[in-house]
Every structure is written in C-alpha cells, then in structure tokens.
Amino acid sequence: MYQYLSTKITTLFSKQVPATGLGLFRIGYGLIALQEIFFLLYFNHLIFDPIPYLDVEFPMIPAFLCFWAIIAVCVTLGYRYQTSMLLNYALWILFVNFTPMQRDFDGGFDTFMIGAGFFLLFMPADRAFSIDNLRYKLSTPFTHYSQYAKPTVTVLAYYLPVAICLGFLYFDSAVHKMFAEHWRNGLGTWLPATQPYYVSALDFSVLLNQKWFENAFSYTILVFQFTFIFFFWHRTARIAYLLIGMSLHLGITLSFNIYPFGLGMLSFYLLMIPFAWWRAISNFFIAKQPTLTVFFDKQCPLCNRTVLILNHFDIFKRIDFKNAQDNAANYSALAKIAPDVLLKDLYAVDSNGNVYAGVQTYAQTFQQMGYLKFVGIFLSLPVIRTLAEKKYRAIADNRVRCDETCLVVTRLENNTWYTQLFEKAFTRKPKVFTRKFLKILTLFLLLQLNSTIHYGLIYRFKLHNPLLSPLTQVSNTLVLWSTTFVGIVPHALYLHDHFSGYDHILAITYTDKTGQEQWLPFVNEQGRMLAPNWGRIHSMWANIAVTPNIDNWRLKKFIMKVTAFYGQNLGLDLNQTTFHIQMKKINAPNLWEQDLLHKNMTGTWTIIGSAQWQKKAIQIELPDDINVL
C-alpha cells in the first residue's frame, strides 16, 4: 500500500497542468474574504461592541478591518502573494479567536475560510492572473513576453485542497446526517428551506412542494457526500461530481441566507473544472488574430516595461507588440515615418492600416482590449487628451536608451513556500520528499478522523468512559488545534438536534413617535431575516439567541445588541422608544407537509415581552420560560 501511494504521488507530482484554475480560485477566495470584511465593517458595532455604539470596547477594529481589506485586495490581485496570504491567514485566526466573532457570530464560515487559507499558503496560486507574475517579468525587461512559457503547476495542487477541504468535509457531514431523522426520511434539503429564519427572499416553493424531488435531491446529496472523496479525481466521474456539487452550493447560495458559505464552497469547484474546458474557454475568448500592432524601441527599458505591463493586462490577446527596429519596415503604413522619429513614440497600426502615435496608441490599446474600453475613450476626450499628451511628452522625451548590457537588474525569483518546500525539495530528493509528504497527508487524515469519531460517534452514542478520559482530553486538544489552524471541525449543521422543538420564532417591533408599531429592519412579518442580516448575523439570532430551548440570558443579550444597533441606525431616541418582543408559532416536522414554508410565514404574531432603554441600561421583560408558551 505504501509503495502504491508513493508511486502515485510521484506520478501526480510530476504531472504538470495549467495554473488557470488555481489563479481563479485565488481570486474567488480573495473576493469572498473582501466582501466578508466589508460585512464586518458594516456590522462593526453590532458584532464587536459590548453595547453597540454605547460601549465601544474595540475602537481600533475599523482600522484593522481596513488593513485586512487591503491585504484581501493583494490576495485577489496576487500581489506579493506569499506575504499577503500569510497576513490574511493570521488576521482571520486573530479575529476569530480574540473577538466575539467565533463565540456569538460564527456559523462555520470562518473555519472554512481558515482551512482554505491554510492550503493557499502552500499552493502556487500566484502563477496565473497575478501581479507577481508581472513583477517577475519586469525584473528582466529586455526579455520579450513571448519567450516566457505558460505557467504550469503539479496536478496535486488541484487535487489535495479539494480532497481535504471538500472531501473530508463532505464525508464528515454525511456521517452526522445519518443520525438526523429528516435526512433519513429524504427531507434533508426540504426542512431547513421551510423555516422562515433560514430562507432568502427567493421563493422556491415550486420545488419544495414536490416531495419526489426533495427526496431524490436529499438522497443524492447523501450518496454524493459519502463517495466524493473516493471518486472526484476520476476523469469520468469528475464531471458528475462537479455538476452536482455546483448545483448543491448554488442552491444554498440562492435559497438560504448563508450565502458566504455557499460562495466559499462554490469557489473550490474552480479547481475541479477539467483543463480541456479551460482551453476551450480560452480559445473562445482569445482573438484569433491581433486587431492592433504596437511598435516600441527595443533599446528603451521604459518601453519594454510598458509593453510587458500592457501585454499582461491584454487578457484576450488582441494586441501584438513588436520592436520597431526589426519589424517596422514590414508595414507599409509606417514607411513614411523616419526611423529616428519612429523610435520617439509608441506607434500602432490597426487592422485597417490606420496609424496611431503617443497617447493615441494608449487610447487605442485600451479600447481594443475590450474590458478597458472606457479607459481608452476617457483618454480620447479633448481636455484629458491634451493633459495626457503634455505628461507623455515630458516622459517620452527624457527616457533613457541603452543596449542590453547597460541595464543592471536582479531577476526576481519565485520563492513562495510551494516553490521551496515542494518543487525544489522534489527535484533534489524525490523519494525523501514523497515519504515526508505521505506523513503529512496521514496527519491530516488522523485529524479529520479524530473530529469525525469524537463528535460523530462517541458524542452521538454517549460512549463516555472514565477509563478513556485521558484519550478524550487528548482528542479535545487535537480538535481545538485542528479547528483553530486548519479549519477541521465537525460539520453537524441543521440536523435533528437543531430543529427538534424549533416551534417558535421571535422578532422585534417598536412604537414610533406617532404611536404606530413598526418592524425593526431585522426580522419581518413573515419571519424572514432581511438583508443584510445574513451570514454570521443570521447565525447569531437563529442559531444562538433563538433555539429549540431558548436561554433567556442569551436571548436578552442579543435583544440588547439588536435594539441598540438598529435604534441608533434608525435615529431613534432609545430612552423614549419601547421595543416589543414578538413570537410566532412555526412547525419543523420530520415528515412531509405540503406548502409548509407559506404556512410558517403566515402565522400570527403575539407580543410576549418588551425592552426599554434608560441611558446605557436596558430593562427587558420576558416570560420566565419561553419554551412552554
């Protein structure tokens, strides 16, 4: 077995494939992280203040979030990738473990992003669609872009993150699902989608009311999750797993209000798209023939760098760049231009033989690129063009010309952890590398098995034995470390212990200055959580404050936070506003019920309590035991 695995890893590591999917995965991860940081900025006071706006314990949080947003932009663009990815990973861990994000506002998304971030630290995701690639080229400006080979990576860089971040997650989740009655009844996708707190604004009742469809979809998910890790890599099975997985997570993104988790999972499927598909997409969008040819002075360092930059952003390859000394004579449109004049500017010739120079060349280049057309049009505006030409002449007339030996530069090397720990190590000692690599994979497998067995079996069956107490403590410690740094956690989400007894939901209204009762823009009359109170805000209210067994102390804590936050946002005088706690009965059965979503949304609300602020103190009146109402 060891010999088989060793040979397989060596074969896969030696197989080189395009880096396209990894680059797009990095961009997807960076954009998802960025939107979440903006979300944290918007709800900064609700999440981080002990009393929103009234008691600000972390005044520097917005500054740190803005710094984090800059890091996320660098990750997305692939700028100084290793440093920015490491900072992003560290910031995610720090925010989760040293702020209320994990305790009160989690929901599983943070650990997923930490796990994905951990693997991105060791992935060559900077080799496609990155600024770092451009930086490497600019360090040797006299090397024409056509001389660089297309970036490739080992196929394991695609397989391993999918296997661990998706395969382990799915298998663990499927084990937990088998203990949930509604999943065994084929209603795993149906039950959460009929609960007002959990659904988005889109109404999927047409599908929810088709029992056969929900049964088929739920059982398909169980089979999919149990088998994914064993077969996703197989060429003939990959398409099926890709389509089912994308449908599953697209459905989560659209139908539930936990869209960050759905988007995060969807981003991983960029790594499963067959390489032939990327080539087909590339062939479809990339121009068969260039529509503009730009001529530059090959002895000008600035001109060479400009060409490298423009070519880097010409993603549809519509522009061809040639040095004027060797190629201008082949174009009759340039015949009337003296050689010394030709080298003073960037000249361009389009497919119709029209000649452009200076700022006009830049304007045409941007327009021909397509997605930057508005920049080219902007440069062509009369006033903007005059100013641009003045600046252009100041630079062009003072540029330095030299031969290839006069420019002393140090070529930047790609020294990411992937290059150092994988590529170079494999090249030096392939057998030693393979042996160490297998040990690392075994460690990840043991960490996941520890989590699955501990929570999926021992916890479920209550197999607690005093003699096994030391092992239990070791297991708990391993779970703590794997959760904190690798994102390996039990995925027992929305199971029977979550919905059993979930027969009432709460909302908050208030009396305005005219004596009219208004709903806070938080939970509406249907019981849906309104945008943007989704993601971790939804988790705070629907998973922690309101549960099958409501804890009054926790509920009061979050009523305090929500009323203070929205009271300030709405411009209410908190000391003169009375808030009302509304309750509505719902149903969360383990057996099929026709049109349950609409029934749960149309119930009657009853006022069961109130909340009144006096300066920085709030008085909340609630029944002693809401669970029996």
β-pairing verdict for 292-296 and 319-323: parallel
d(CA 447, CA 439): 12
pLDDT in tens, 549-568: 888 999 999 999 999 999 99
Q: Tell me how far the alpha carbon of residue 140 is from its chain's centroid.
A: 34
pLDDT over 90 (residue 423): no
pLDDT digits (tens, 9 = 90+) for 472-528: 777 778 888 888 888 888 777 777 678 888 899 999 999 988 889 999 999 999 999
The more confidently predicted of residues 586 and 327 is 586
> Distance between CA 422 and CA 572 in Å, rounded?
59
Helices (H), 232-300: 235-255, 259-268, 275-285
Kindly indicate the confidence band of residue 360, based on its pLDDT and cuts at 50, 70 and 90. Answer: very high
| pLDDT tens-digit readout, 18-30 | 999 999 999 999 9
How much is the pLDDT for 340? 78
Convert 568-585 to b/e letters by CB count within 10 Å (16 or more is b). Answer: eeeebebeebebbbbbbe
Q: Which residues of 12-51 are buried (b: 16+ CB within 10 A; e: fewer)?
A: bbeeebbbbbbbbbbbbbbbbbbebbebbeebbbbbbbeb
The pLDDT tens digits for 386-412 are 999 999 999 888 887 776 556 555 677
Instruction: Share the mean pLDDT of the chain.
Output: 89
pLDDT digits (tens, 9 = 90+) for 110-154: 988 999 999 999 999 999 999 999 998 888 888 888 888 788 899
**Which pLDDT does position 377 carry in this prediction?**
94
Strand, helix or coil at 607?
strand
- What is the pLDDT at residue 40? 95
Q: How far apart are CA 27 and CA 78, in angstroms?
A: 8
CA distance 191 to 315: 45
pLDDT given at position 168: 92
CB atoms closer than 10 angstroms to residue 254 = 13
CB 542 within 8 A of CB 502: no
Give pLDDT, residue 572: 92
Q: Where are the alpha helices (DSSP H) in 121-210?
A: 131-138, 156-161, 169-177, 181-184, 205-208
The sign of the dihedral angle between the CA atoms of 457, 462, 467, 473 is positive
CB 236 within 8 A of CB 215: no
Closest CA to 310 of 368, 357, 352, 386: 368
Nearby residues of 82 by Cβ (< 8 Å), 6 or more positions away: 121, 126, 415, 416, 417
Q: What is the pLDDT of residue 421?
A: 85
**Phi and psi at residue 197, to the nearest 5°:** -60, -25
Q: What is the tens place of the pLDDT at every residue in 42-83?
A: 999 999 999 999 998 888 999 999 999 999 999 999 999 999
Instruction: Judge contact between 581 and 612, C-beta under 8 A.
Output: no
- Angular region, 515: left φ>0, alpha ψ -120 to 50, beta rest: left
Residue 55 DSSP class: B
Q: Kindly report which listed range (287-296, 301-310, 332-341, 536-545) carries the lowest average pLDDT score.
A: 332-341
> How far is residue 259 from each of residues 154, 231, 264, 526, measured CA to CA in Å?
31, 27, 8, 20
pLDDT of residue 494: 76
pLDDT at 458: 67
Q: List, for residues 562-596, the tens digit of each pLDDT value.
A: 999 999 999 999 999 999 999 999 999 989 999 99
Burial 135-167 (b: 16+ CB within 10 A, else e): bbbbebbbebeeeeeebbbbbbbbbbbbbbbbb
What is the model's pLDDT at position 459?
Answer: 65
Share of the chain above pLDDT 70, in %: 96
Q: Is 107 left (phi over 0), alpha (psi -120 to 50) or beta?
A: left
Looking at per-residue pLDDT, the higher value among 343 and 221 belongs to 221
The structure tokens listed for 525 are: 């009359």
Strand partners, 504: 585
Q: Residue 457 — very low, low, confident or very high, per pLDDT cuts 50/70/90? A: low
SS3 611: strand
Distance (Å, whole) CA 335 – CA 576: 83
pLDDT of residue 19: 92
- Close Cβ partners of 572 (under 8 Å, ≥ 6 residues apart): 510
Would you state the pLDDT for residue 537?
94
| Distance of alpha carbon 452 from alpha carbon 446, whole angstroms | 10
pLDDT at 468: 61
Q: Is the pLDDT of residue 325 over 90?
A: no
Among 133, 150, 220, 145, residue whose Cα is nearest residue 183: 220
pLDDT at 409: 59
Residue 532 preceded by cis peptide, ω within 30: yes
Strands 578-585 and 517-519: unpaired
Tell me which residue of 547, 542, 517, 514 sits closest to 530, measured CA to CA: 542
pLDDT in tens, 188-234: 999 999 999 999 989 999 999 999 999 999 999 999 999 999 999 88
Residue 13 has phi, psi (to 5 degrees) of -65, -30
For the domain covering 286-396, report its CATH number. Answer: 3.40.30
Cα–Cα distance between 584 and 505 in angstroms, integer?
Answer: 5
User: Tens digits of per-residue pLDDT, 594-626?
Assistant: 999 999 999 899 999 999 999 889 999 999 888
Q: pTM of this prediction? A: 0.91
pLDDT at 474: 78
* Bridge partner list, 511: 517
